[in-house]
Structure 1
Amino acid sequence: MRALIAAAIGLAAALALVLTMTAVGAPPGETSPKPLLHSVPKHP
């Protein structure tokens, strides 16, 4: 029973965090117009 209560509390906390982040919204600013260029490392 304790595990069920702990899981419910954890789920409620995670949901509250997601809803808070959704309500706050994205931070102001713009993304970089330059693409992130990288190469895949070669394995010998």
Structure 2
Amino acid sequence: MRALIAAAIGLATAFALVLILTAMGTPSGDTSPKPLLTTVPAHP
């Protein structure tokens, strides 16, 4: 029973956190025009 209560509290907390972050909206700012390198360039 305690595990069920703990799971319910954790789920409610996570759900509340998602709602708060959603209500805050997207942060202001611009994205970088330069692409990120995800691989290491090959050396000839």
Q: TM-score by structure 2 length?
A: 0.81
Give structure 1 regions of 4+ aligned residues with deviation exceeding 4 angstroms: none
Between the aligned partners of 2:34 and 2:6, the Cα distance in structure 1 is 45
CA root-mean-square deviation: 1.6
Between the aligned partners of 2:25 and 2:15, the Cα distance in structure 1 is 15
Provide structure 1 residue ranges, at least 5 long, that are not aligned to the other structure. Answer: none
The DSSP-based 3-state class of the residue aligned with 1:18 is helix
Match of 2:7 in 1: 7
Letter in 2 for 1:25: G
Letter in 1 for 2:34: K
Number of residue equivalences: 41
Q: TM-score by structure 1 length?
A: 0.81
Match of 2:33 in 1: 33
